[in-house]
Amino acid sequence: MSGFVTVPEPVEVPGLTHLHTGKVRDLYSTASDELVMVASDRVSAYDWVLPTEIPGKGRLLTQLSLWWFERLGDLVANHVVSDTPPEGAPADWAGRTLVCERLDMVPVECVARGYLAGSGLAEYRVDRTVCGVPLPEGLTGGSELPEAIFTPATKAEVGDHDENVSFGVVADRHGEKLAAELRDLTLRVYGRGRDIARERGVLLADTKFEFGRDTAGDLVLADEVFTPDSSRYWPADEWSPGRPQPSFDKQVLRDWLTSSASGWDRASDTPPPELPADVVEHTLSRYTEIYERLTGTKPAL
């Protein structure tokens, strides 16, 4: 069993209807049928939403997504209408709220990989493929792929695993045309992000996107984009294939949870414990560092 250690109570705001509480974001609708996404400071690991928050994380993720949306606008439209919280919203929503266009969401996690890591590495070790895409012999953890690949996944509920699937599965479920559109758009957007990150001394190993269709039927980029929650970033000057890469994300807290110091048995049904203050601080410092490396500015937390 996994999911929330403690399920948060939704905030009641006049004129808004609470729709969903996700791992990080809370979703509301307005009277005019726009969506309001509020990025909390929650953090998840190993399919659990942890009982300890990372202060300021939601604002950092929101600001970084907005920064990236601006740099991707010529490739794909995004769902953002405004970053001003609705009237009557709590003061804490400032800086962590996006008012968005309602889309018909495509139920596919659109993953692009330029390097071999994570579940892709595990699959490669078994049969030299990732999501059915054949790869050459001789690759190891952290290896750069000959070219970026599209490795989609099904989107899971809170507490469940996303399931990696092949392009053929997406085509069977959603049609060859849409599958090809998702693949091509995913790889174009990933390529832009990879190039911008590389100019700043950062490797964008992999990332995931969510797309939906607007009223005109066009694909629109939704949710977050190129944040350390949805992307694997490595410092270029420390990249060394064949060993775990230092990363700008929540690996710090994952390592603590699986260490003897936490006392937590991941294989049990016992919820994970509270994070110690030094782990919280170190995790936030990694999120802050990647923000500053990419944007050249400090996040307003």
pLDDT digits (tens, 9 = 90+) for 234-284: 999 999 999 999 999 999 999 999 999 999 999 998 999 999 999 999 999
pLDDT value at 40 more than 90 = yes
What is the model's pLDDT at position 156?
62
pLDDT digits (tens, 9 = 90+) for 152-209: 999 765 545 678 999 999 999 999 999 999 999 999 999 999 999 999 999 999 999 9
Rounded Cα gap, residues 295 and 46, in angstroms: 29
What is the model's pLDDT at position 47?
87
What is the model's pLDDT at position 2?
67
For residues 23-36, average pLDDT: 96
What is the model's pLDDT at position 159?
46
HSE-CB for 197 with a 13 A CA cutoff: 28
Global pTM?
A: 0.94
For residues 138-155, average pLDDT: 96
For residues 2-12, average pLDDT: 89
What is the model's pLDDT at position 157?
58
Are β-strands 48-49 and 3-4 bridged in parallel, bridged antiparallel, or unpaired? parallel
CA 143, 146, 148, 151 torsion: positive or negative? negative
Compute φ and ψ for 190, nearest 5 degrees: -60, -45
